[in-house]
Amino acid sequence: MNLHLHSSVTKLIENIEITGSKSESNRALLLQALYPALHIENISNSDDSEVMQKGLKILNGEVDIHHAGTAMRFLTTFFATQEGREVVLTGSQRMKERPIKILVDALKQLNASIEYTDNDGYPPLKIVGKNLSANKVTMAANVSSQYISSILLSAPFLQNGIILELEGKITSVPYINMTLGLLSQIGVTSTFEGNVIKVEPIADIEKAKTIVVESDWSSASYFYSIIALCDVGSTIKLSSYKKDSLQGDSVLAEIYKDFGVATTFEDNTISITKERAVARDTSIQIDLSNAPDIAQTIAVTSFGLGIACDLSGLHTLKIKETDRLEALKAELGKLGAEIEVTDKELHLKPSDYINPDIAIDTYNDHRMAMAFAPLALKTSIIINDAEVVSKSYPDFWNDMKKLHFNLKEL
């Protein structure tokens, strides 16, 4: 489905409800599979959480997690530690290009039984579940934090817990802290000191516990972008959010101050308001190694405002749903941007014109579709394969209609 978008709105006052974070949901679902007394509220309705729920129930045979990176990584340790289960864990064509060797090698240090069915280092994986009693692992921490979270999530269920030594500069750190935060909510003790993480085992949780998943901050980013591109005085209220978030992408509230957007918290709602216009000589400079999923949103907001933007810490973007650095370069380039990328940085020059009616390719990447959509406030734009949004945010286009964007299927 290709969607033509335009919007004649300049000032917005609206409310949007976003479902639970897919990162928190996929962690909570795995913990619930290990400790069935656990209840989960405000779970994500994303495709990635749906494949996670289905995958966790499969005892033997093929488990297809499509495009879901967290499901692929988290389920690898899960199945490796489930005695009596034997699966082939596979995914989409792109998933078969997303590396997993660091995690598999780490699990092999614990004597896990995992084989590559096609290409060494990449899914699919044939996994024979075993009762693992070893507990010392060393692994590289500079490629994806999901490998680390994967081991930590199943760690309390292991006989002797885990002592994990991390090598190299740790990337996407808030996601590791999110994992430890959720473990703590169900009563698991852990420490993270320097480059060593220790998780204590627990046979079961003490009594029925509930994890209330906070709504998804990465999804909120598209509304920050919309408000940044609207007139002063525009406000969107988003629920349900907390000030003390487990999600690193909540740094949006700080970052978007530079785009003239203020955030206020009231109960479980945030109001994001355009407070001031942004001067054309503003230049945005941010290291996003702790919040890689908002890189596309920030680059597109900067382009929409015509201001310069230099993003660093983007070394993980090449192995996500697509090579996001190349995808941004190609698509912003089509719109007329002067943009350069390296394998970990993006540099955008100030500009004063956006080419109209450009069709944005989305490369099976939900965030390409959602990050470019706000530009409809500036010019009419086409989003190709717009259904990709369901990976994290199936209601996205309906919510855009609530914000008075005109959507026409081509």
Ligand X SMILES: O=C(O)C1=C[C@@H](OP(=O)(O)O)[C@@H](O)[C@H](O)C1
Ligand Y SMILES: C=C(OP(=O)(O)O)C(=O)O
Which residues are annotated binding-site positions for 3-phosphoshikimate? Answer: 22-23, 27, 144-146, 172, 293, 320
- Longest alpha-carbon distance in the chain: 62
Please, which of residues 293-332 interact with ligand X by CB under 6 A? 293, 316
Q: Is the peptide bond before 156 cis (omega within 30 degrees of 0)?
A: no
Q: 239 and 201 in contact (C-beta within 8 Å)?
A: no
For ligand Y, give the closer residue by CB, 69 or 248.
69
Between CA 287 and CA 169 the distance in angstroms is 14
Cα torsion 55, 66, 101, 295 to 10°: value is -120
Q: In the structure encoding, which two tokens stand for residue 219, read together? A: 């999804």
Q: Report the residue count for the chain.
A: 410
**Residue 145 binding target from ligand X, ligand Y, none, CB below 5 to 8 Å by type:** ligand X
DSSP string, 322-337: S-HHHHHHHHHHHTT-
- Tell whether residue 175 is a contact of ligand X (CB under 6 A): yes
Catalytic residue flag (residue 293) = yes
Nearest to ligand Y of 297, 302 (CB atom): 297
Q: 47, 48, 293, 365: which is the annotated catalytic residue?
A: 293
Partner in contact with 68, chosen from ligand Y, ligand X, none, beta carbon below 5 to 8 Å by kind: ligand Y
Residue type, 386: A
Report the distance separating Cα 385 and Cα 269, nearest Å.
31
State in angstroms the smallest separation of the CB of 191 from ligand X.
Answer: 20
Q: Is 145 in the site for ligand X (CB under 6 A)?
A: yes
In the complex, minimum distance from the CB of residue 316 to ligand X, in angstroms, rounded to a whole number? 4
What is the spatial distance between Cα 158 and Cα 138, in angstroms, rounded to a whole number?
A: 17
Whether the CB-CB separation of 11 and 234 falls below 8 Å is answered with yes
Question: Minimum distance from CB of 54 to ligand X (Å)?
Answer: 18
Window contacting ligand X (CB under 6 A); options: 91-99, 168-176, 224-232, 298-306: 168-176
User: Rule CB under 6 A: which residues touch ligand Y?
Assistant: 67-70, 293, 320-321, 367, 392
- Taking the least distance from each CB to ligand X, the nearer of 23 and 49 is 23
User: Interface with ligand X by CB under 6 A: which residues?
Assistant: 23, 70, 144-146, 149, 171-172, 175, 292-293, 316
Active site residues: 293
